[in-house]
Structure 1
Amino acid sequence: MSEQETKPAFPAAKPLPSLPEPEKPQRSGARKWIIFLVIALIVGAAVWKIRKNTQEQSFQGQRMSAMGDRPMPVQTVHVQQKTMPIYLTALGTVTAYNTVTVKSRVDGQLNRVNVREGQRVRQGELLAEIDPAPYQAALAQAQGQLARDQAQHVNDQAQANRYSALLEAGVVSRENAQAQQALAGQSGGAIQADQAAIQAAKVNLNYTKITSPINGVVGLRQVDPGNIVHASDTNGLLVVTQLEPIAVIFTLPEDHLPEVLDLTRQGRKLVVEAYDRSGATHLATGSVLTVDNQIDTTTGTVKVKAVFDNKDGALFPNQFVNVRLVLQQRPNSIVIPSAALLSGSEGNYVYMVKPGDPPAELQAANPPAQQRAGRKGDANTGTATNQNQPHFYVVAQPVKVDLTEGSQVILSGGVKPGDTIVVDGQEKLRSGSRVIPRQSANPNGPRAVNPNREDTGVVSDSQNGDRQQGKQDRTGGQQP
Structure 2
Amino acid sequence: MDGSVDAPVLGDMPAPVLEPKARKRFRRWPWLLASGTIISAVALVVTWQHVAQPDRPSFETVAVGWGDVTRQVAATGTVNPELTIIVGSYVSGPITEILCDYNTVVKAGQVCATIDPRSYQTAVNQDSANVSVANAQLQKDRANLDYARLNYERSRRLMGAQAVSQEAVDIARNLADQADAQIALDEAIIEQRKAELAAARINLDYTNIRSPVDGVVVSRNVSRGQTVAASFQTPTLFLIATDLTRMQVDTNISESDIGAIRTGQAVTFSVDAFPDRSFRGQVKQVRQSPQTVQNVVTFDAVVSVDNWDLALKPGMTASLIIITDRETDVLRVPSQALRFEPKDALAGRIVPQGPDGNHAHVWVERNSELSMISVKTGISDGSYTAIDDGSLQAGDRVVVAERLPSSDAPASLRFLRW
Structure 1 letter corresponding to 2:103:
G
- Whether the 8 Å CA contact 1:337–1:408 is kept in 2: the answer is yes
Residue 156 of structure 1: CA displacement? 1.0
- The residue that corresponds to 1:218 in the other structure is 217
Checking the alignment, whether the CA contact within 8 Å between 1:291 and 1:302 is kept in structure 2 is no
Match of 2:269 among 269, 275, 294: 275
| Mapped contact 1:404–1:410 kept (Cα < 8 A) | yes
Among 134, 141, 148, the residue aligned to 1:156: 141
Counterpart of 2:265 in structure 1: which amino acid? V
Q: Residue 319 of structure 1 aligns with which residue?
A: 316
Question: What percentage of aligned pairs have identical amino acids?
Answer: 21
Where do 1:29-428 residues align within 5 Å? 85-95=70-80, 97-170=82-155, 173-214=172-213, 217-232=216-231, 236-241=236-241, 244-254=246-256, 256-257=257-258, 259-260=259-260, 269-276=263-270, 281-294=277-290, 296=292, 299=295, 301-312=297-308, 313-333=310-330, 403-405=379-381, 410=386
CA deviation digits over 1:54-108, x for unaligned, max 9?
xxxxxxxxxxxxxxxxxxxxxxxxx7766x5433333334455555543322233
Written as runs of structure 1 = structure 2, the 5 A alignment for 1:433-448 is none
* Cα shift at 1:189: 2.0
1: CA distance, partners of 2:301 / 2:152: 77
Contact 2:219 2:240 in 1 (8 A): no
| Contact residue 107 and residue 215 of structure 2 kept, 8 A | yes
The Cα of 1:235 is off from its aligned counterpart by 5.3
More strand by share: 2
Mapped partners of 1:270, 1:249: distance in 2: 15
Counterpart code for 1:239: L
Question: 1:376-410: per-residue Cα shift (whole Å, max 9, x none)?
Answer: xxxxxxxxxxxxxxxxxxxxxx9x98554377775
Distance in 1 (CA, whole Å) between partners of 2:224 and 2:290 is 46
> 1:198, CA displacement in angstroms?
1.9
Equivalent pair of 1:288/1:304 in contact (CA under 8 Å): no
Which SS does the other structure have where 1:195 is aligned?
A: helix
Offset of 1:224 from its aligned partner? Answer: 2.0
| 1:281–1:311 distance in 2 versus 1, CA, 3 Å | closer
Give the Cα separation in 2 of the matches to 1:316 and 1:348.
Answer: 51
Alignment-mate amino acid for residue 208 of structure 1: T
Q: Distance in 1 between matches of 2:315 and 2:109?
A: 26
TM-score for both structures, normalised by structure 2:
0.54
- The change in CA–CA distance for 1:249 and 1:109 in structure 2 (over 3 A counts) is same
CA distance in 1, matches of 2:401, 2:267: 27
Contact 1:85 1:329 in 2 (8 A): yes
Q: Cα gap change, 1:149/1:306 in structure 2, threshold over 3 Å: closer, same or farther? A: same
**In 1: Cα distance, 2:99 partner to 2:363 partner:** 66
Deviation at 1:277, TM superposition (A): 5.9
The CA RMSD measured in Å over matched residues stands at 4.9
Pair 1:298–1:129, CA change in 2 (3 A): closer
**Quick check: 2:70–2:380 contact (8 Å CA) kept in 1?**
no
> 1:324, 1:472 → 2: CA distance?
30
Corresponding pairs, count: 297
Check the 8 A contact 1:157/1:184 in 2, yes or no.
yes
Indicate how the Cα distance of structure 1 residues 334 and 317 shifts in structure 2: closer, same or farther if over 3 A, else same: farther
C-alpha distance in structure 2 between counterparts of 1:141 and 1:208, whole Å:
18
Cα offset, 1:225, TM superposition = 2.0
Give the alignment's TM-score, normalised by structure 1.
0.48
